[in-house]
Structure 1
Amino acid sequence: MKRKVMAAYWCGCLWGVLCLLLTACGEYSYHYPSVKLEFLTAYSGGDGTLERVLTDGGEEYAVLVDDSHSHIRPDSLVRIVSNYELVHKEGGEGVHLYAVSAAVAPIPLPADKFPEGVKTDPVDVLSVWMGRNYLNLMLTVKAQHGKHKFHYVEDRVDVDAEARRSSVELTLYHDDGGDTQAYSQRAYCSIPLLQYADEGVDTVEVSLHVHTYSGEVKTYTFEYRPLIAE
């Protein structure tokens, strides 16, 4: 029951970022002073503007300035990648967001939930690491003018109640739409994992399969310990 509730909650919050408009490598080439480039969980207020962010390290900050003027669904959350700086304003500490891009962060789905079948067009993985209740990926794709779609396929979920462990096997879904492989562009993906934190599960072993331009299928394995408070 808990898993179904969590999945419904996250789907409502995150499904809107299924399709990522690819970010050119040069987008973040300008260096702002004392600025970090990180994955963040951003929360909106009643008017849909970003009010606060949570870092993967667990620090929470008010959004004092947002140069991106981002708007999302009111009173919801979204996964983003942002250039930001810690600032002080009117006696309080918060963040100045210089640039914001949506990270692709839908809940993984079983293969039979993809009407057109599972697409595994290749990518190159620049880095992959465990964030706060997410598995983060920084990818490079070869593209020209097409719109690439990303998602995550849930291949297998096994729960060992006695050992208080579960094992999850995922595959990166990538549909390049037949785009010409002309230029290298950056894509940011963030896989939600909190829905696998069923009662009695302390540790989740996550394996992610990624099809690459070299023709290999690379597998990345991480151990995830759920952080329930979000």
Structure 2
Amino acid sequence: MRPTLYIPSFCAFLILLFSGIASSCSNDQADAGYFSGKFRLDFATVRLQNAVPVLALDSKDTLKASSIPTFGFTKKDGQRVLVNHSPDEGKGIVIHSVSDILTSRIFTAKLDTIPVDPVKVQSAWVGGGYLNLVLYMDYYSKKHKFGLYRSAQSPNALYLSHNKEGDSEGYPVRIYMSFLLNGLQRSANDSTSFSVNIPTSSGLKIYKFTFL
């Protein structure tokens, strides 16, 4: 069975709530932060230290357990999350909420067999060792599936798969996701270059990245 990421109805509702918090970002490649007034949304990775979760922000900062809510996210090492926080004079960072981001890795498949229902790209960037995407999908009621694939012949050419499972035309929903970038081929100078092909209403949109 091909591994995929699922978006159940209740998750789509939560994503819609976050859409109201995060400000619009028109850049195709952006950093992990989204601002709205005094609030900031950042991508982070859950790390377990003696079974206690800490949040490693892509900015290299770490948020300790005393400031992290005890609910709202999966306490599993490597889980990607969205952190809603703001600075507080004299108290450092105040975390308002932590919620799961769809988290997966790259799989190998025959590329002509993967579903390519279109999405709209808001942002695509590399941070924290992950490919991070902020997308809009047309959602009505059914679960959607996402995955990131490559062929055995071209391991650094990645393709996003989206299967809307016959979902009816609905309304745009913002979705956040992160894919672990291990296993990509490195160049002679130890950097890694790769491309990501994302299906949109106007065809495949190609993004190219290089990172150390």
Note closer, same or farther for the CA distance 1:68–1:124 as it changes in structure 2 (3 Å cut): farther
Aligned-partner Cα distance in 2 for 1:201–1:18: 34
2:128 to 127, 132, 138: 132
Q: What's the CA shift for 1:211?
A: 0.6
Alpha-carbon contact 2:131-2:179 (below 8 Å) kept:
yes
Pairing of 1:68-147 with structure 2 (within 5 A): 69-70=71-72, 72=74, 76-86=77-87, 95-112=93-110, 117-147=113-143
Q: What's the CA shift for 1:37?
A: 0.4
Aligned-partner Cα distance in 2 for 1:218–1:206: 14
Alpha-carbon contact 1:156-1:169 (below 8 Å) kept:
no
Q: What's the CA shift for 1:174?
A: 1.0
Map of 1:38 onto structure 2? 42
Map of 1:3 onto structure 2? none
Note closer, same or farther for the CA distance 1:97–1:155 as it changes in structure 2 (3 Å cut): farther
| TM-score calculated relative to the size of structure 2 | 0.75
Q: What's the RMSD between the two structures over aligned residues?
A: 3.2
Alpha-carbon contact 2:83-2:99 (below 8 Å) kept:
yes
Q: What's the CA shift for 1:181?
A: 2.0
Pairing of 1:159-174 with structure 2 (within 5 A): 168-174=156-162
Aligned-partner Cα distance in 1 for 2:37–2:64: 19
Note closer, same or farther for the CA distance 1:69–1:130 as it changes in structure 2 (3 Å cut): same
| TM-score calculated relative to the size of structure 1 | 0.70
Helix, strand or coil at the partner of 1:196: coil
1:56 to 58, 77, 94: 58
Note closer, same or farther for the CA distance 1:58–1:157 as it changes in structure 2 (3 Å cut): farther
Aligned-partner Cα distance in 2 for 1:129–1:101: 20
Percent identity over paired residues? 22
Map of 1:12 onto structure 2? none
Note closer, same or farther for the CA distance 1:186–1:30 as it changes in structure 2 (3 Å cut): closer
Alpha-carbon contact 1:169-1:207 (below 8 Å) kept:
yes
Number of residues of Structure 1 aligned to a counterpart in Structure 2? 192
Note closer, same or farther for the CA distance 1:37–1:188 as it changes in structure 2 (3 Å cut): same
Structure 1 runs (4+) deviating above 4 angstroms are 30-33, 86-89, 197-201
Note closer, same or farther for the CA distance 1:218–1:103 as it changes in structure 2 (3 Å cut): same
Helix, strand or coil at the partner of 1:105: strand
Note closer, same or farther for the CA distance 1:142–1:28 as it changes in structure 2 (3 Å cut): closer
Q: What's the CA shift for 1:132?
A: 2.1
